[in-house]
Amino acid sequence: MKINQQKGSKGANISPTPDNFPKSQYNYPIFCLKYLHKDFSLSNCEESEKSKLIERMHKLSSMTWEQIRQAQRHGLGQEIIPQDSIRAGKPPHVTPEVNFYALRFDGLKPFVGYKKDFIFHIVYIDRAFTLYDHG
């Protein structure tokens, strides 16, 4: 496995990119929190919820996307959430064809985001079940 390192900087900056990893390395989720919505972010979570979220991300990181797709949607699986059912604003870079997915933590509490290549971008942490109709 080849890892890119920037020359001339202090310390090693590891930068895995699609060009240096085989496609088989992308069959599991890698989580990103860059686009968290301000009203559905970590700052709204209790410490125990933050801990449960990290534990769930760790568990899901050991599974393939296929295993997650096959799992029960209210367990370790995923559920598609239509964009028009989300009550909060979406990031401006999210286009209409992008699918949002809910994954669960701390019981049935969903964290919702989208997949881009091998990264799952978490946009909402819906700890109070107010992001969309959970009917």
Q: What is the pLDDT of residue 135?
A: 75
pLDDT attached to residue 118: 80
| Per-residue pLDDT, 79 | 96
38 and 44 Cβ atoms separated by less than 8 Å: no
Is 46 within the bounds of a domain?
yes
Domain ranges, residue 50: 27-125
In a domain, 50, yes or no: yes
Residue spans of the chain under pLDDT 50: 1-9, 11
Q: What is the pLDDT of residue 112?
A: 98
pLDDT at 106: 97
CA distance 59 to 63: 7
Give the H/E segment covering residue 103.
strand 100-105
Compute, in degrees rounded to 10, the torsion defined by CA atoms 124, 128, 132, 135: 140
Any domain includes 8: no
d(CA 122, CA 103): 10
Beta-ladder partners of 114: 121
User: What pLDDT is attached to residue 55?
Assistant: 98
* Predicted pLDDT of residue 5: 42
Q: What is the predicted pLDDT for the residue at 25?
A: 59
Residue 12 lies in a domain: no
How many domains in the chain?
1
Instruction: Indicate the pairing of strand 30-32 with strand 119-125.
Output: parallel
Give the tens place of pLDDT for each residue, 108-127: 999 999 999 889 999 999 99
For residue 2, the model assigns a pLDDT of: 41
Task: Give the sheet arrangement for strand 109-116, strand by strand.
Answer: 30-32, 119-125, 109-116, 100-105, 79-81
